[in-house]
């Protein structure tokens, strides 16, 4: 008698309850069907989205002033004790350049503490579950910049490197507007994806993910956002 190692399911699906045993799913060629990790996290209802500005709000929201700062950020998400967050995607699109001569885009993971200090020019944001029926709400807390350039107020970073340190794991910049002051740059946006960057940071709460957008000369207006996986830390450690 042949040993059953899987079941072909290409045109129909079995629906099973949580905790039930079942055989592995195969395609018609007898190959194991495996969903990539990021897609599976979405299907599990473990991926959340944070949005900064919208395209229909007069060009988005301002960057956070004319110098990058540890304590003023465009957005952040704090992971409390018992919660782990893994950023997997982030993007910013410049809507109105004004007279800025340098745009700095930086993502930071702080493994040592939650960083939110006050709303400043921002406010709380209820993260959107990327699975449409929203099987769970985010346990972490998120804050985003609103229409002003004042940003979200953050605490100073933990020590750089070492246990419970902070890591600026992605940086990018647009140096100059290639058109005149009234034009947009030909490539006025930046995107980071964990799939393309190697290993993403894993902040085991307490910890924080911070999104920095600062400029030289004058604020730009922009829209953007990011996605993060949220898991109970007992499922990670």
Lowest-confidence segment of 8-12, 45-49, 202-206 by average pLDDT: 8-12
Query: What pLDDT score was predicted for residue 183?
Result: 52
User: CB–CB of 122/152 below 8 Å?
Assistant: yes
Q: Which two tokens stand for residue 87?
A: 């950023």
Neighbours of 74 (CB within 10 A): 28
> What's the number of CA atoms in the CB half-sphere (13 Å) around residue 62?
19
* 62 in Cβ contact with 146 (< 8 Å): no
Secondary structure of 94-111 in the HEC alphabet? EEECCCCCEEEEEEEEEC
Choose among 60, 43, 39, 42: nearest CA to 51.
60
Tell me, what's the pLDDT at 54?
A: 85
Write out pLDDT tens, residues 21-32.
Answer: 888 888 888 888
pTM confidence score: 0.90
138 — pLDDT class (breaks 50, 70, 90): very high
Q: What is the pLDDT of residue 182?
A: 45
Give the pLDDT confidence of 89-116 residue by residue, as tens digits: 999 998 888 888 888 999 999 999 999 9
pLDDT (0 to 100) of residue 36: 92
d(CA 15, CA 12): 10
Closest CA to 177 of 104, 98, 106, 105: 98
Helix (H, G, I), strand (E, B) or coil at 127: coil
Percent of the chain clearing pLDDT 90 (strictly above): 57
Dihedral of the alpha carbons of 192, 40, 82, 121, in degrees to the nearest 10? 40
| Average pLDDT of span 58-65 | 83
Coil vs helix vs strand at 205: coil
Share of the chain above pLDDT 70, in %: 92
């Amino acid at each position: 008698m042949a040993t059953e190692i899987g079941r072909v399911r290409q045109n129909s699906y079995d629906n099973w309850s949580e905790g039930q045993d079942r055989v592995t799913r195969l395609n018609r060629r007898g190959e194991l069907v495996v969903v990539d990790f990021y897609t599976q996290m979405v299907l599990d209802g473990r991926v959340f989205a944070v949005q900064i500005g919208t395209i229909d709000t007069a060009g988005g929201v301002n960057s956070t002033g004319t110098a990058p700062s540890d304590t003023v950020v465009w957005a952040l998400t704090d992971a409390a004790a018992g919660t782990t967050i893994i950023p997997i995607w982030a993007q910013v699109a410049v809507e109105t350049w004004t007279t800025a001569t340098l745009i700095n885009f930086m993502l930071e993971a702080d493994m040592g503490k939650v960083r939110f200090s006050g709303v400043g020019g921002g406010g709380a944001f209820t993260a959107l579950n990327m699975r449409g029926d929203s099987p769970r709400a985010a346990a972490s807390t998120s804050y985003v910049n609103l229409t002003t350039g004042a940003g979200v107020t953050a605490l100073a970073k933990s020590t750089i490197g070492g246990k419970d340190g902070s890591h600026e794991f992605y940086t990018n910049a647009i140096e100059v507007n290639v058109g005149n002051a009234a034009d947009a740059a030909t490539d006025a946006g930046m995107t980071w994806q964990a799939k393309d960057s190697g290993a993403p940071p894993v902040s085991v709460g307490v910890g924080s993910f911070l999104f920095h957008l600062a400029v030289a000369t004058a604020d730009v207006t922009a829209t953007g956002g990011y996605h993060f996986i949220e898991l109970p830390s007992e499922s990670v450690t």
